[in-house]
Structure 1
Amino acid sequence: MLIKNIENKIKLALYISLGSFVSSIIIASVASFFAYKQVSKTRENIYILDNNIPIMAKQTNIELNRPAEYKAHVDLFHSLFFSLTPDDKFIEYQMKRAMYLIDESGALQYNNLKEKGFFNSILSSSSVLTLQTDSIHIDMINKLFIYYGKQIIERRSSTVTRSLITTGYLKDIPRSDNNAHGVLITNWKTLENKDLSNVQKNQF
């Protein structure tokens, strides 16, 4: 009887030891999982320093905000490239800023327009070009965008309205002072750029 009690106690102690061991493994695994998840979540956030003070000022989830940043980047580029005044210094300034936001496809279109005398015609006719964005479609899976807008060309003798549709891809790059969104437009193409209306002005 005594031996049987000892055997039962040994079995009970063994079960308790195994149970404690398994429980500790489960607890450690769960703790590690949540710790990893928390670290991953922290890496997705941007920490901003306020006046060079090393404190967390604000957090923004990058993935949630990225579609809005893509749209803002595409809108900014098109505004810089297509909103112009009859001032060669201003045109040069606009183009310089725009080229930071796009790959060589932007420089190619700029050079083509320059060779065709597009910018000289703006200067000679004192035209003022403004761009109105209608919509921007972003395909987040393929990182493809389609831009829809209207370009208004104010000349001394007329006002021309053109439809503008372009497309291209979006590439994530490190942020910089010249590219605050950390996005580069690639393989940019103009799908449509045609006159919608041409209203003559009264000449006195």
Structure 2
Amino acid sequence: MIQNIEKKIKLAFAISLGSFLTSLAVVVAVCVFAYSLVNEQRKNIYVLDHNVPVLVRQTDQGTNREVEYASHVNIFHLLFFTLPPDDEYIKNNLSKAMYLVDDTGLAQYNNLKEKGYYNSILASSALLTIQTDSVVVDENRHFRYYAKQRIERPTSIATRALITEGDLQDVPRTENNPHGLIIKNWKTVLNKDLDYVEKKNF
């Protein structure tokens, strides 16, 4: 009789201990899950768009940084080399481009201006556009930009190969520089004619 009571006590104790350990494991699992869920929710930011909450996801600065490198270089060159025969448009584009580059970009702009490059575009009603071929950025954030530039005048169309290079440096993100990068030591490596076609006059 006493042995049966002892067995029952041991069984009850084992069941109680098992229940306690199971409950403890469940509590720990719930705490871990809740903690990870809270951390995930902290990455979510809601902004109001006309009183409608819109979910915006917060990411680390390093996320997709390689994509931002190429995008920054591409946008700068599009602004700097897309030049229609419109003085205000040219000034506006170049003003935006100067936020993305250091004084080497300004020096090249001033050099072209002194040579009458922009005046010749206006005088000849030329339209300059650029088509990016590729942007190569190495581990030291040194880039090479490959593109073709199209120069269309009333009497002709010329195509040039353009290669430039420079370095990328992190800077604070601003409205005028959303990628938080600036191009340094920028220079033109190659700028040569590939094709020249005269327009037919009817």
Q: TM-score, normalised by structure 2?
A: 0.74
1:127 pairs with 2:137: no
2:12 aligns with none
Q: Aligned partners of 2:105 and 2:136: how far apart in 1?
A: 19
| TM-aligned CA deviation for residue 143 of structure 1 | 1.0
Decide which of 150, 153, 156 is 2:154's aligned counterpart: 156
Q: Aligned to 2:64, what secondary structure does the other structure show?
A: helix
User: What residue identity is the alignment partner of 2:77?
Assistant: H
* Residue pair 1:46, 1:61 contacting (<8 A) in 2 also: no
User: What residue identity is the alignment partner of 1:172?
Assistant: D
User: What residue identity is the alignment partner of 1:164?
Assistant: L
CA distance 1:57–1:88, shift in 2 (3 Å) = closer
1:194 pairs with 2:175: no
Q: Which protein has the bigger strand share?
A: 2
Greater Cα shift, 60-69 or 179-188? 60-69
User: What residue identity is the alignment partner of 2:48?
Assistant: N
Q: Aligned to 1:191, what secondary structure does the other structure show?
A: strand
1:59 pairs with 2:97: no
Report % sequence identity.
52
1:82 pairs with 2:84: no
CA distance 1:55–1:90, shift in 2 (3 Å) = closer
| TM-aligned CA deviation for residue 47 of structure 1 | 6.2
* Residue pair 2:84, 2:127 contacting (<8 A) in 1 also: yes
Q: How does 1:137-148 map to 2 (within 5 A)?
A: 137-139=136-138, 141-148=139-146
Q: Aligned to 2:93, what secondary structure does the other structure show?
A: helix
| TM-aligned CA deviation for residue 63 of structure 1 | 1.9
Q: Aligned to 1:51, what secondary structure does the other structure show?
A: strand
2:98 aligns with 99
1:167 aligns with 165
* Residue pair 2:163, 2:189 contacting (<8 A) in 1 also: yes
Q: Aligned to 1:171, what secondary structure does the other structure show?
A: strand
Q: Aligned to 1:69, what secondary structure does the other structure show?
A: helix
* Residue pair 1:157, 1:200 contacting (<8 A) in 2 also: yes
1:12 aligns with none
Structure 1 gaps of 5+ residues are 1-34
Q: Aligned partners of 2:193 and 2:157: how far apart in 1?
A: 11
Question: What's the RMSD between the two structures over aligned residues?
Answer: 2.4
CA distance 1:183–1:47, shift in 2 (3 Å) = farther
| TM-aligned CA deviation for residue 170 of structure 1 | 0.2
| TM-aligned CA deviation for residue 142 of structure 1 | 1.0
Structure 2 gaps of 5+ residues are 1-34
User: What residue identity is the alignment partner of 1:157?
Assistant: T
1:72 pairs with 2:71: yes
1:203 aligns with 201
Q: Aligned partners of 1:189 and 1:161: how far apart in 2?
A: 20
